[in-house]
Amino acid sequence: MPLFGTDGVRGLANGTLTADLALSLAQATAVVLGQGRTADARRAAGKRLTAVVARDPRVSGEFLVAAVSAGLASSGVDVLDAGVLPTPALAYLIGDHDADFGVMVSASHNPAPDNGIKIFARGGVKLPDVVEARIEAAMSGEKLQPTGAGVGRIARFSDAEDRYVLHLLQSLPHRLEGLHVVLDCAHGAASGVSPQTFSDAGARVTVIGADPDGLNINDGVGSTHLDQLAAAVIAHGANLGIAHDGDADRCLAVDAAGQVIDGDQIMAILAVSLKERGELVDDTLVATVMSNLGLHRAMAAQGIHVEQTAVGDRYVLERMNEGGFALGGEQSGHVIMSRFATTGDGLLTGLHLMSEMARTGRTLAELASVMTVYPQVLVNVKGVDRSMVATDETVQDAVARASAALGLSGRVLLRPSGTEPLVRVMVEAADADTANAHAEAIADVVRERLSLPA
């Protein structure tokens, strides 16, 4: 099984993800990302390569950052340790500091025992699959082993947070005075920087989930647990709530009545705003195949084209870069605004969402009404041969029958898992009962036709 998953290397900290693995991965990264004309020019000028590292507050991040930093410095790379910061902050700082690459230690929305390592190339961009494969191969090859003055130095990136906050504030088209927001920081990487930034932008801020102890990250709070945020918004009479995940590259919201506003709805609001201001390149939004049918309908009504990609913010970003598009993202709250960020940024997204409220004087519920959310049912069918989904005629006939029955009022999507014997059946329809009936019927056919031997 490949070491890299859909978002870096992830696993149980000190179980599958050990200090030895982190050190070896860092050394291999130095070998692979230390190649090329820019790196050669730095060395010719007598300069060492530079990497920025950061982490979320989970306890295992301390020893894993130490191992990553040791692996980089032992390979002749100078390390700037930015401490606890969101993933998008690290991505921004790589470009802002003109560093050669960066490493984020975080398992995002996973529970505290897990951790992960995400690697960003020059400019703060995620690595393509081919480069990740080269790094994995280099882990078993020769390492860089300079001695004496050739080894790297490790220093604190003292103004990292200030640079990031200033960048976010400078991106805003409208300040946030008059708005009261409840921020749920998931006891994660945004716990310090997010309340500060929203307050500096002019909002009145109430904070929950911002007391990280290294073990409580994502524990009943954050973007995967919105009940507490909804209750807090209602209790405090706030205009809205914003939830981050553990490394703050996601943003989900709730309106003043506690209703969830997901990533699709946020993208719809931002896309309309950007189009009105003439900033939505080619009037195009990039979204994944899992985005709600309601998003497509709403954007069509606004004269906005939706480009579809595979699931994963990296694929959204690839398409955005290919077309030079300004906005893209996922239903889960990964929203990419390419003018200001190279990856999903939960703080940036939340700030611009509130900026649109302040600019228009409309409530979040009013802005979100641009899109009708179609009921979406997802059934995971386990223990099946995922490779046969596209070729089994009986399965495809079942999909075709459901699609014909739904017509323009719904859609069907089958997604084989890339890592396990599982097929995801997703159905959208005008009502939940219809969606559920079609999803279960297709799932039954998938089980009957594709189940693996016990």
Residues recognised as catalytic:
108
Query: Edge to edge, what strands does the sheet with 376-382 contain?
Result: 376-382, 422-428, 411-416
Residues near 211 by Cβ (< 8 Å), separated by ≥ 6?
187, 191
**Spatial distance between the Cα atoms of 243 and 346, rounded to a whole number of angstroms:** 8
Q: Which residues pair with 156 in a beta bridge?
A: 81
Do 13 and 116 form a contact (C-beta atoms < 8 A)?
Answer: no
Rounded to a whole number of angstroms, the CA Rg of the chain reads 23
Annotated ligand binding at 247? The verdict is yes
Output the CA angle 350-237-241, nearest 5 degrees.
Answer: 20
**What is the 3 state secondary structure string of 305-370?**
EEEEECCCHHHHHHHHHHHCCCEEECCCCCEEECCCCCCCCHHHHHHHHHHHHHHHCCCHHHHHCC
Annotated ligand binding at 227? The verdict is no
Annotated ligand binding at 245? The verdict is yes
Helix axes 87-96, 160-171, angle to 10 degrees: 90
A 10 A CB-CB count for 19 gives: 17
Residue ranges of the alpha helices (H) in 139-159? Answer: none
Which one, of 103, 95, 93, lies nearest residue 29 by Cα?
A: 103
Do 438 and 429 form a contact (C-beta atoms < 8 A)?
Answer: yes
- Residue 165's identity, in one-letter code, is V
Annotated ligand binding at 264? The verdict is no
Task: Indicate the annotated binding residues for Mg(2+).
Answer: 108, 245, 247, 249
Task: Indicate the annotated binding residues.
Answer: 108, 245, 247, 249
